[in-house]
Amino acid sequence: MKIAIVYNYESQAVINLFGTANKEKYGLDTIKNIQKGLAKGGHQVKTFEGDKNIISNLEKFMPAVISGERPGLVFNLSYGIQGKGRYMHIPGILEMLGIPYFGSGPESHAVALDKVLTKMVLLQKGLPTPNFAVLDTPNSPIKENLTYPLIVKPKSEAVSFGLKVVHNEDELREGVKNIYEQFKSPTLVEEFIQGRELNVGLIGNGDNLIAMPALELVFGEGEQIFTYEDKIKTSGRTVESVCPAPITPEQEETIKQLAIDTFNALDCYDCARVDFRMDHEGNFYILEVNSMASLGLGGSYVYAASKMGFDYSGLMNKLIEVASERYFGPYGLANFYEDADNKSIKMFNTVTKNRDRIEKDLRLWTSTPSWTNDAVGLATVKKRITERLTKLGLKEVDAFTNKRSGWLYETKAGFTDGTLLAVPIDIPGKREGYPIPFRIDEEWLHGEGIASSRSGIVTILSALSALKENRSLNTRKIGIFFYADEGRGMRYSHHLLQQAATRAKQVLVLQPGLKNGRVFDQRRGSTKYSLIIEGDPKRIGSTSNQVDVLSYFFDKVDKIKKLSNPEKKLSVAVQDLQAERYSILLPHRVTATIYVTYINAAQAKNAEEELRKLINTRTRNINTFLEKLEDRPPLLRKRSNPAIKKLSSLSKDWSVPFGTESSLLPSAAGEIDKNIPAVCGMAPHSKDIYTPGEAVNRRELIEKILLLSLFLASDEN
């Protein structure tokens, strides 16, 4: 499990430093010890300061999970940076973000940090606590009938700040004055219970809540209280911890039950420590609740846990265990998918546990650009793919490989009557400017060609790796067709894919899908034309009646656009325009690209005929040339598509979003024979594709990998 340890040490990264500053903090040695202990338990652990950057940091470390996956968990050690409600800040943020965390919730911390509120809750629940009063200022009168000696402490501070025993009115007023000046806080004044000081640590929740053996603090000489100076080892005396405390079995049972009742009264979670005083008659009085009990090696909580058999690492992992059980129950994944077979659950676990490796792999692929015209980049990517597939046990199939623009690999079982996957390795277009670096932006992954090519490659490789890890790859009939001319409309590789597809039962194309897992069961075809218009060079301001080529072209543009017919899903558009001229003369040549998309091939043919008629000219000194550059057939929707039916069934079984949609753009899926089931959009949802802002969704990357893995592993494949 991913575990983020959130604490406060030195960061003051807030918008404004304003309000009561926090004086509590964990030492870095303790943070490192906790981190090592959790890592020893097999967890992936990272530490973060609990400041204003915590949201973005956690988003990067533990992104949104897919249905049924255990999210990461925060090990909350944050005492806050400032403010009276500082204990509540991180738990409140985590609840807003939907991130599980270890420890009590904001409301419990609010009560526990306010000693007066704690005592009011205890009294309401009938639990014993010393008589008390609250003084707002040093001159406030005491209306309650309290008996000296008394003890004064700040109303909302911890670790014994300002703690002092007073024996008369003068000492009382002096103690209240010090607290008021130092903390700007009301003072809790309560009767000092002369006797022994004990505490009880608790671990667990509900019926599984366990009270640790009672621990006694033995102070030796001086005041019989645990001061701040004692805690930071500057008091000059050694306070001894004795555990189990030397009390009778009946007293042990009583103090443990009081600790449990207090824990439940404040609605604490996972762990806490309750502090007591026991008078000379053996009566227990609850002093306060430490909702964030210290987990330092020298702390009483850790020492008491050791008497229960926990070493430090074991205790830290036990705390994670009780927090996880509170959120997810004792059986984890089985609670979500009770009817799932063991093989599928293993596949689910394999994919979800490898999130970091998958994103790291995606970073690697985006660091090696391979634009359509970049022969060196394409060769590098092809070499890397070959190395990865060879390690997975796949082999190249010469019959469907031309070594230049198309390569096909298959598993040991071959791909005949199985599934053929197709994915481009080139990034369409031309490089302009600097490469786009990989970065994580909330729930989006950015990088060079990450949507148009790289996420599809990683989705395939990750699914194959999951099959191999679960010992299913060699028996699955799978073929993978990589092609390097998507930017040229598959001009050189399309016939290889067409031939290979005739051997397969179904074809899945790893182009980006749409939001919420939608794939494409229909895509338009497209035809790309190059239009050249040439004429005589003309001087600016010439009074000749001859039309210049640029004016001639603009006159035709509006007529070209009118060839579109949205109702028939036919569009005709001018994409690129380039003019050539001599010196200050008007252009003598115009070159444009005309792009036609369609569903019905007959309508596309009619549009071409109309286009040729439109540009065919008898205008003096004007010549036109129209050349077809690309012709990509459409993917037509079928009444019944077994591949989509299977994907839909798997998505329902595993609560993965899924749906079908029609696309305006062509893809390799259009090359597949109409009698072979084909699905496009099996790569994750993207945004701003073919732009510098190109990105894929982090959650849907994992969802598509899971869906593809389960599809390939299914018995029907």
Which residue, among 528, 527, 547, 529, has the nearest Cα to 538 in the 3D structure?
Answer: 547
Beta bridge partners of residue 285, listed in sequence order: 277
Claim to verify: residue 165 and residue 300 sit in the same structural domain: yes
- Answer for the pair 653, 348: CB distance below 8 angstroms, yes or no: no
- Domain boundary among the residues 597, 632, 667 is at 632
AA letter at 492: Y
Tell me the per-residue pLDDT of 489-526, one tens digit each, with 9 for 90 and over. Answer: 999 999 999 999 999 999 999 999 999 999 999 999 99
- Find out whether 298 and 304 touch, Cβ atoms under 8 Å: no
What CATH number is attached to the domain comprising 214?
Answer: 3.30.470.20
Order the strands of the 132-135 sheet from edge to edge: 132-135, 187-191, 150-154, 164-166
Alpha carbon distance 575, 93 (integer Å): 48
HSE of 220, CA atoms in CB hemisphere, 13 A: 8
Cα 612 to Cα 308, 407, 559, 609: the distances in Å are 88, 37, 12, 5
**Torsion from C-alpha of 150, 151, 153, 159, nearest 10 degrees:** -170
Of the pLDDT bands very low, low, confident and very high (cuts 50, 70, 90), residue 62 is confident
State whether 313 and 458 are in the same domain: no
Residue 331 has pLDDT above 70, yes or no: no
Instruction: Give the distance, in angstroms, between the CA of residue 707 and the centroid of all CA atoms in the same chain.
Output: 18
- Asked if the structure places residue 345 within a domain, the reply is no
Among 309, 247, 310, 307, smallest CA distance to 278 is for 247
Give the bridge partners for 283, in sequence order: none
Give the confidence band of 335 by pLDDT, cuts at 50, 70, 90.
Answer: very low
Note down the domain range covering 310: 111-328
pLDDT of residue 133 exceeding 70, the answer is yes
> Are 133 and 262 members of one domain?
yes
Residue 442: per-residue pLDDT: 81
Question: In DSSP terms, which residues pair with 150 in a beta bridge?
Answer: 166, 191
pLDDT over 80 (residue 237): no
CA distances from 554 to 480, 488, 581 (A): 46, 27, 16
In a domain, 369, yes or no: yes
Q: How far apart are the first and last CA of the chain?
A: 32
Between residues 68 and 624, the one the model is more confident about: 624
Say how far apart CA 618 and CA 424 lie, in whole Å: 44
Q: Are residues 95 and 116 in the same domain?
A: no
CA 471 to chain centre: 28
Collapsed DSSP state (helix, strand, coil) of residue 396: strand
Place of tokens 């893995």: 709
- d(CA 511, CA 690) in angstroms, rounded, equals 13
Closest CA to 694 of 429, 480, 463: 429
**299/156 same-domain check:** yes
Tell me how crowded residue 522 is: count the other CB atoms within 10 A of its CB: 18
Domain end, chosen from 83, 103, 123, is at 103
> Given this model, what pLDDT does residue 231 score?
66
List, for residues 64-83, the tens digit of each pLDDT value: 888 877 788 999 999 999 88
Contact between 141 and 128 under an 8 Å Cβ cutoff? The reply is no
Same-domain pairing of 71 and 39: yes
Q: Is the pLDDT of residue 107 over 90?
A: yes
Q: What is the pLDDT of residue 220?
A: 78
Check residue 382 and give its pLDDT. Answer: 96
Task: Write out the E strands in 442-558.
Answer: 444-446, 478-483, 506-509, 518-523, 525-535
Q: What is the pLDDT of residues 274-290, one digit of tens each?
A: 999 999 999 999 999 99
Choose among 595, 597, 627: nearest CA to 612.
627
Residue 614: give its domain's CATH number: 3.30.70.360
Looking at the predicted structure, is the pLDDT value of residue 332 above 80? no
- Asked whether 242 and 197 are in contact (CB, 8 A), the reply is no
Q: Which amino acid is at 162?
A: G
Q: Are residues 380 and 482 in the same domain?
A: yes
44 beta partners: 2
Domain presence at residue 341 = no
The answer to whether residue 705 is domain-embedded is: yes
Does residue 642 sit in the same domain as residue 673?
yes
For position 312, what pLDDT does the model report? 97
Tokens for 184? 């700007």
Q: Are 405 and 381 contacting, i.e. CB atoms less than 8 angstroms apart?
A: no
Q: Which two tokens stand for residue 262?
A: 């207090």
Pairing, β 73-76 against β 2-7: parallel
Closest by Cα among 532, 581, 538 to 553 = 532
Domain boundary among 75, 103, 131: 103
Percent of the chain having pLDDT more than 70? 97
Position 352 in a domain: no
- 3-state SS, 446-472, equals ECCCHHHHHHHHHHHHHHHHHHHHCCC
Number of domains into which the chain is organized: 4
Across the range 340-368, mean pLDDT stands at: 89
658 domain-assigned: yes
pLDDT-derived band at 333, boundaries 50, 70, 90? very low
> Is the confidence at residue 155, as pLDDT, over 90?
no
567 pLDDT band, cuts 50/70/90, is: very high
Q: Are strands 678-680 and 210-211 parallel, antiparallel or unpaired?
A: unpaired
162: pLDDT confidence band, cut at 50, 70 and 90?
confident
Kindly report the three-state secondary structure assignment for every residue of 43-106. CEEEEEECCCCHHHHHHHHCCCCCCCCCCCEEEECCCCCECCCHHHHHHHHHHHHCCCEECCCH
Residue 338 has pLDDT above 90, yes or no: no
- Element containing residue 664 per DSSP (H, E): none
Q: Is there a domain that residue 343 lies in?
A: no
Q: Which of residues 62 and 388 earns the better pLDDT score? A: 388
- What's the predicted TM-score (pTM) here? 0.80
Mark out the alpha helices in 470-600 (DSSP H runs): 494-501, 549-561
φ, ψ of residue 223 in degrees (nearest 5)? -60, 140
Same domain, 664 and 621: no
Whole-number Å distance between alpha carbons of 174 and 568: 89
Does the CA dihedral 18-23-24-26 come out positive or negative?
Answer: positive
pLDDT value of residue 470: 93
Looking at the DSSP assignment, which residues form a beta bridge with residue 21? 82
Please name the residue ranges forming H helices in 337-374: 342-353, 355-366
What is the model's pLDDT at position 159?
52
* 264 and 322 in a common domain: yes
Q: Note whether 292 and 77 are within 8 A (CB).
A: yes
**CA proximity to 635, closest of 608, 606, 597:** 597
The dihedral built from the CA positions of residue 116, 118, 123 and 129, taken in this order, carries a sign that is negative
Dist CA 318 CA 96 (whole Å): 26
Q: Give the count of beta carbons closer than 10 Å to the beta carbon of residue 700.
A: 26
Least confident of 119-128, 148-157, 504-513, 632-641: 148-157
**Gap between the Cα atoms of 3 and 563, Å rounded:** 59
Helical spans, DSSP H, in 392-493: 455-469
Q: CA–CA separation, 527 vs 670, rounded Å?
A: 13
Q: How far apart are CA 468 and CA 479, in angstroms?
A: 15
- CA-closest candidate to residue 48, choices 38, 65, 60, 64: 60
Mean confidence (pLDDT) of the chain: 92
State the CATH number of the domain containing residue 74.
Answer: 3.40.50.20
pLDDT of residue 511: 97
* pLDDT of 235: 67
pLDDT at 340: 58
Do 489 and 587 belong to one domain?
no
Kindly give the interhelix angle for 106-113 and 115-124, rounded to the nearest 10 degrees: 100
Residue 178 burial (CB < 10 Å; 0-12/13-18/19+)?
Answer: middle
pLDDT value of position 228: 67
Q: Count CB neighbours of 686 within 10 A.
A: 24
Residues 413 and 497 in one domain: yes
Q: Is residue 344 part of a domain?
A: no
Sign of the CA dihedral running 335, 341, 342, 348: negative
Query: Is it the case that residue 399 has pLDDT exceeding 90?
Result: yes
Confidence of residue 603 (pLDDT cuts 50, 70, 90): very high
Q: Which pLDDT score, from 0 to 100, does residue 398 have? A: 96
Min mean pLDDT across 154-168, 425-439, 448-462, 549-563 is at 154-168
Q: CA-CA distance, 352 to 334, in Å (whole number)? A: 15
CATH number of the structural domain spanning residue 500: 3.40.630.10
pLDDT for residue 66: 84
